[in-house]
Amino acid sequence: MKTQYICTSCHSPSYGAEKTRGSGKLAVGLWGVGLFFLLLLGPLWAIPVLIIALVYTIWMFASKALICPSCGKPDLVSTDSPVGMEITKSAGGGDDRENWIKELERGG
Ligand SMILES: [Zn+2]
């Protein structure tokens, strides 16, 4: 069963969205510089840069953050946590909290 989250910033319910950390452009840039060095200066210069590019790329894919799909902030709490329950009550869930979570399940 998926964990349901609520955003403490915008109070949107969701299952959370995965966001890759780091910059894709920077990774591409590092690979570009590595290849550039390889062509112009030879492997002695290119290898350290290519190693950095490789480590950075692996780190980027390995470290994913869970973010709110509505506002993009990483301020998600589980709806089952005390804070999450408070927010679901005040964010229009109220007594309808159970239905609200079921709606979320159907939608997600
Ligand atoms: Zn949000």
Residues 53, 90 within the same domain: no
Q: Which domain holds residue 83?
A: 1-20+65-108
For 51, half-sphere exposure in the C-beta direction (CA atoms, 13 angstrom radius) is: 5
The answer to whether residue 93 scores a pLDDT higher than 70 is no
Residues 86, 74 within the same domain: yes
Residues 35, 8 within the same domain: no
Between the CA of 77 and the centroid of ligand 1 the distance, in Å, is: 11
Between the CA of 63 and the centroid of ligand 1 the distance, in Å, is: 20
Residues 13, 31 within the same domain: no
Between the CA of 24 and the centroid of ligand 1 the distance, in Å, is: 23
Residues 48, 31 within the same domain: yes
Residues 105, 78 within the same domain: yes
The answer to whether residue 94 scores a pLDDT higher than 70 is no
Say if CB 8 and CB 87 are below 8 A apart: yes
Between the CA of 27 and the centroid of ligand 1 the distance, in Å, is: 28
Position 108 confidence tier, pLDDT thresholds 50, 70, 90: low
Quote the number of domains for the chain.
Answer: 2
Residues 6, 44 within the same domain: no
Between the CA of 6 and the centroid of ligand 1 the distance, in Å, is: 8
Between the CA of 57 and the centroid of ligand 1 the distance, in Å, is: 27
Residues 26, 41 within the same domain: yes
Is the pTM value of this prediction over 0.75? no
Residues 26, 5 within the same domain: no
